[in-house]
């Protein structure tokens, strides 16, 4: 069996390399033609352009990997079927399901690769690519520092604390004009106003601070003015501030396309914001389920491709290829439609994210059972 598995994998990996390479060369060439004017305006050097594509290519890989796997499987299985190799293997007492094991293993490996790319590479790729384009532009057009974000808030519903930040530098992690409001264990409101703040040794330190507490008459009044004060109970981290900035942009548009935010960031945001508006809740949970379901596309593609490829010896190979491509195209259409419906609140988030995988996965297994 090991010899058979090695043979099947070797026959698959050769066309798979060509399919992946062809897709990537085509995409990079097409994108380079469209973006060359932008690169010239940004005054990028050759090394900068290479670095730009090293950063952006993974975002295309999550689409290319399932398609390349589909075409490679169709080509490989069609060759096996045309030379009656599948018939001979099955005549030796090996079931079609056993033949599928190496292909399913490749699908699982590709699914894991897509998950890793989605979670660890793509989330910051847009910002990193934009940083390269802005490499020789020290500031924004209005003269402000591109690393500084101004006038935004961080509501922490979990700890009953709200931050209003005048400005925050992503590189130095120093904020100016911070105002923090919170509720203590006695359910009394407190407020802090400072000139600036920074996080040192995992503790927020505020400078030129005025703190307010609830007075006996029920109104808030200043209770302390000091040059420096530390609040170790403030658990918000610079990473959470970056996530808040990232989410604030996306929640403004409620973009329904495939999620660009890692699962861990979505869960962290939901933990900090237990109370959300309906629109924000729909968007976040739809993206969460879409994020969880997306990597399984590679495995679904395997179950869709095998019935067409394995049966192609009895019919025109192009019919199988065309039919399978149409099915995969329909899969992506249903995926995008589901994300849009889930974002709009028309269907439950888990249905929006998982329905395409369940429907097309079941269809592929059903067709595989019908292969004779």
Q: Please check whether residue 318 is in contact with residue 305, taking contact to mean a CB–CB distance below 8 angstroms.
A: no
57-73 pLDDT, tens digit per residue, is 888 888 889 888 988 88
Name the band, by pLDDT with cuts 50, 70 and 90, for residue 323: low
pTM recorded for the entire structure: 0.79
Q: Please check whether residue 237 is in contact with residue 271, taking contact to mean a CB–CB distance below 8 angstroms.
A: no
pLDDT of residue 167: 92
Q: Please check whether residue 320 is in contact with residue 128, taking contact to mean a CB–CB distance below 8 angstroms.
A: no
What is the DSSP secondary-structure string of 192-225? EE-SEEEEETTEEEEEEEEEEEE-TTSSEEEEEE
Q: How far is CA 64 from CA 27, 55, 313, in A?
A: 10, 16, 27
Q: How many residues does the chain have?
A: 372
- Give me the chain's average pLDDT, please: 84
CA distance 134 to 146: 9
CA distance 372 to 364: 15
Tokens in use for 33? 């033609």
Residues ≥6 apart with Cβ < 8 Å to 265: 123, 243, 246, 247
96-120 vs 349-370: helix crossing angle, rounded to 10: 160
CA 211 to chain centre: 41
Q: What percent of the chain has pLDDT over 90?
A: 24
Angle, CA of 89, 95 and 100, to the nearest 5°: 90
Q: How far is CA 345 from CA 252, 268, 322, 367, in A?
A: 16, 22, 34, 33
181-230 pLDDT, tens digit per residue, is 998 888 889 999 999 999 988 899 999 999 998 777 667 778 889 999 99
239-275 pLDDT, tens digit per residue, is 888 888 877 766 665 554 444 678 888 888 888 887 7
Tokens in use for 348? 């439950």
How many Å is the maximal CA-CA distance in the chain? Answer: 91
117-172 pLDDT, tens digit per residue, is 988 888 778 778 888 887 777 655 544 566 788 888 888 888 889 999 999 998 88
CA distance 256 to 198: 35
Q: Please check whether residue 44 is in contact with residue 138, taking contact to mean a CB–CB distance below 8 angstroms.
A: no
Residue carrying the six token digits 């601070």: 209
Domains of the chain: 2-132+292-370 (no CATH), 160-231 (2.60.450.10)
Q: Please check whether residue 303 is in contact with residue 368, taking contact to mean a CB–CB distance below 8 angstroms.
A: yes
Looking at the predicted structure, is the pLDDT value of residue 342 above 60?
yes
């Amino acid at each position: 069996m090991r010899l058979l598995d090695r043979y099947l994998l070797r026959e698959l990996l050769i066309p798979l390399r060509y399919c992946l390479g062809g897709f990537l060369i085509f995409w990079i060439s097409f994108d380079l033609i469209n973006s060359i004017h932008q690169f010239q305006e940004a005054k990028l050097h050759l090394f900068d352009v290479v670095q730009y594509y090293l950063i952006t290519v993974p975002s295309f890989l999550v689409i290319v990997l399932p398609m390349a796997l589909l075409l490679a499987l169709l080509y490989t299985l069609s060759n096996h079927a045309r030379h009656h190799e599948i018939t001979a293997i099955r005549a030796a007492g090996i079931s079609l399901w056993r033949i599928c094991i190496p292909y399913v293993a490749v699908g699982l490996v590709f699914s894991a690769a897509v998950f890793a790319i989605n979670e660890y590479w793509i989330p910051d790729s847009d910002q990193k690519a934009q940083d390269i384009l802005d490499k020789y532009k020290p500031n924004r057009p209005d003269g402000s520092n591109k690393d500084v974000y101004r006038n935004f808030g961080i509501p922490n519903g979990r700890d009953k604390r709200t931050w209003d930040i005048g400005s925050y530098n992503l590189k130095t992690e120093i904020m100016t004009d911070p105002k923090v409001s919170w509720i203590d264990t006695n359910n009394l409101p407190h407020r802090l106003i400072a000139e600036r703040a920074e996080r040192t040794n995992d503790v927020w330190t505020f400078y030129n601070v005025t703190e307010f507490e609830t007075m006996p008459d029920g109104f808030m009044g200043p209770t302390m003015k000091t040059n420096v004060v530390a609040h170790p109970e403030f658990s918000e981290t610079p990473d959470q501030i970056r996530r808040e900035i990232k989410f604030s942009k996306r929640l403004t548009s409620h973009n329904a396309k495939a999620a660009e935010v890692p699962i861990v960031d979505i869960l962290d945001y939901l933990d900090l914001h237990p109370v959300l508006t309906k629109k924000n809740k729909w968007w976040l949970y739809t993206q969460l389920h879409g994020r969880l379901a997306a990597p399984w596309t590679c495995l679904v593609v395997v179950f869709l491709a095998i019935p067409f490829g394995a049966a192609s010896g009895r019919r025109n190979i192009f019919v199988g290829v065309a039919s399978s491509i149409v099915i995969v195209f329909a899969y992506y259409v249903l995926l995008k439609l589901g994300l849009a419906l889930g974002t709009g609140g028309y269907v439950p988030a888990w249905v929006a994210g998982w329905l395409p995988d369940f429907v097309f996965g079941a269809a592929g297994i059903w067709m595989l059972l019908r292969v004779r």
